[in-house]
Amino acid sequence: MRLRLTEEEAAFREEMRVFFTTEIPEDIREKVRTGRHLEKDDFVRSMQVMNQAGIAVPNWPVEWGGQDWTPLQKHLWHEELQLACVPPPLAFNAGMIGPVIAHFGSQEMKERFLPATRNLDIWWCQGFSEPNAGSDLASLTTRAERDGDDWVVNGQKTWTTLGQHADWIFCLCRTNPEVKKQAGISMLLFPMDTPGVTLRPIKMIDGGYEVNEVFFDNVRVPGENLVGEVDQGWTQAKFLLGNERVGVAPVGATKRALATAKEHAVQLGALGDPLLAARFVELENELLALELTALRVVANSTDGKPHPASSVLKLRGTELQQAVTELLVDLAGPFSLSSGSQTVPEWAAHAVPTYLNFRKASIYGGSNEVQRTIIAGTILGL
């Protein structure tokens, strides 16, 4: 057992800290710090700075721009990025389709897409959920039918996050309705401006636009845009969702949000209230326990298999993320009602919209009920 980072690990952490706090444009980091809306260009600039330094997609295979880092180094990279208020590399590119193409795609497909994907020259969106296929994703009904060498896609996706910015979509389609539902799914890639694709933004409870409905009406997709083999889509989706759960515990960002909340409490002169102070202590402590669990997981998953405790990270991580948004609402008190005001502090005006927005965290990435099912089933044998 060992508490400290090795000298090399500490130096690596410092290198990441310096990079993120000096190379990523300050205007972008300030937006993240204050919880302001990020434009498409903010994500692109930030990710391209990282890609130029070779650290936008460390989890990818080295030959496609990844890094031969230890799990702990990847963890430190991710934590320092969040602590420095850097927007994470676009999840749809870096965490989802990139690794899927690198693992399942043909050499031609890799060469065509991976360099542009890690540089965010292509903005990807995720065509997975449908109105009647949420947690039960394998029930999806969007269908792709053969027409010569092409596929013709009809159906509808929903909850397509940031689809309004997207150039391409990776889309799960039913290619064989005759077999067990998991066995008849394939993954197709196509541009969002293909004739027959219609995007309808969904206004969210915080007043913003993040997710969309996407409709497909006889969308023609060339056969070469199928990832891997026909009917292999479920395997690819599970591979993708497995990657999604790693790093979904937003420890660094939540720590930063909690430290910021503490600054507000000090400025309000509220921290002398023992009830409020106790609430900070309890949250900091649970977050520490979560961070240490994340470290336990990364320090002991060198053989590539995730540590069993990894499944608690998403569950408790999002609960704590939400708890901090609640704390900020309560700190703002009556000013939390002044969400349209120009005179109350910006954080107080943002508090409730952020709180409402982050109810999503326990729903996406495998809802927390799905996580409990996984823990009960695969870990506890229930």
Partner 1 sequence: MDFELDDEQQALRDAVRGLLKVYDPATNSERRREVTATDPGYDEDLWGRMAEMGLLGLPFAEDDGGMGAGPVEVALVAEEIGRVLAPEPYVAAVVLASGLVAELGSDEQRAEVLGGVASGERLLTFASGEVAEPVIQGARADTIVWEVGGQVFLVDRPEGVTGYRTHDGGRAALLEFDRSRAIALGAGGFVDPVLRKVRARAQIAACHEAVGAMEAALALTTSYLTTRQQFGVTLNRFQALTFRAADMYTDLELTRSIVTWATLVAADGDEDALGDAAARAKLQTIRAARRIGQEAIQLHGGIGVTDEYSVGHFTSRLTALSHWLGDAREQLSTLSAGLTRYGVLDPLD
So which residues are the catalytic ones? 244
How many residues make contact with partner 1 (CB under 8 A)? 52
Which residue lies nearer to partner 1 by CB, 174 or 255? 255
305 contacts partner 1 (rule: CB under 8 A):
no
Out of 299, 329, 344, 356, which residue is the one contacting partner 1 (CB under 8 A)? 299
285 contacts partner 1 (rule: CB under 8 A):
yes
59 contacts partner 1 (rule: CB under 8 A):
no
253 contacts partner 1 (rule: CB under 8 A):
no
Q: Of 290, 249, 304, which is closest to residue 71 (Cα–Cα)?
A: 304
CB of 54 to partner 1, least distance (A): 24
Which residue lies nearer to partner 1 by CB, 1 or 340? 1
Which residue lies nearer to partner 1 by CB, 4 or 180? 4
Distance separating alpha carbons of residues 325 and 173, to the nearest angstrom: 36
Backbone phi and psi for residue 125, each to the nearest 5 degrees, phi listed first: -130, 165
18 contacts partner 1 (rule: CB under 8 A):
no
- Using an 8 Å Cβ cutoff, are 214 and 127 in contact? yes
β-pairing, 197-203 with 168-174?
unpaired
256 contacts partner 1 (rule: CB under 8 A):
yes
CA angle (94, 21, 283) in 5-degree steps: 80
Out of 194, 300, 322, 367, which residue is the one contacting partner 1 (CB under 8 A)? 300
Most distant pair of Cα atoms in the chain: their distance = 73
Which residue lies nearer to partner 1 by CB, 41 or 282? 282
Distance separating alpha carbons of residues 76 and 83, to the nearest angstrom: 10
The pair of three-digit structure tokens given for residue 311, joined into one six-digit string: 């499944």
Site for partner 1 in 77-116 (CB under 8 A): 83
Q: Of 317, 361, 100, 366, which is closest to residue 210 (Cα–Cα)?
A: 361
Out of 29, 110, 165, 255, which residue is the one contacting partner 1 (CB under 8 A)? 255
143 contacts partner 1 (rule: CB under 8 A):
no
- Using an 8 Å Cβ cutoff, are 137 and 107 in contact? no
Quickly tell me which residue has 């389609």 as its tokens: 173
Helix (H, G, I), strand (E, B) or coil at 133: strand
The pair of three-digit structure tokens given for residue 161, joined into one six-digit string: 């996050």
Out of 12, 13, 32, 247, which residue is the one contacting partner 1 (CB under 8 A)? 13
304 contacts partner 1 (rule: CB under 8 A):
no
CB of 223 to partner 1, least distance (A): 43
The pair of three-digit structure tokens given for residue 48, joined into one six-digit string: 């391209």
11 contacts partner 1 (rule: CB under 8 A):
no
Distance separating alpha carbons of residues 286 and 317, to the nearest angstrom: 10
What mask of x and - would describe binding to partner 1 in positions 203 to 242, judged by CB under 8 A? ----------------------------------------
122 by Cβ neighbours in 10 Å (0-12 / 13-18 / 19+) ranks as: buried
Quickly tell me which residue has 């029930």 as its tokens: 139
Which residues lie near partner 1 (CB under 8 A)? 1-5, 9, 13, 72, 83, 255-256, 258-259, 262-263, 266, 271, 274, 277-278, 280-282, 284-293, 295-296, 299-300, 309, 312, 315-316, 369, 371-373, 375-377, 379-382
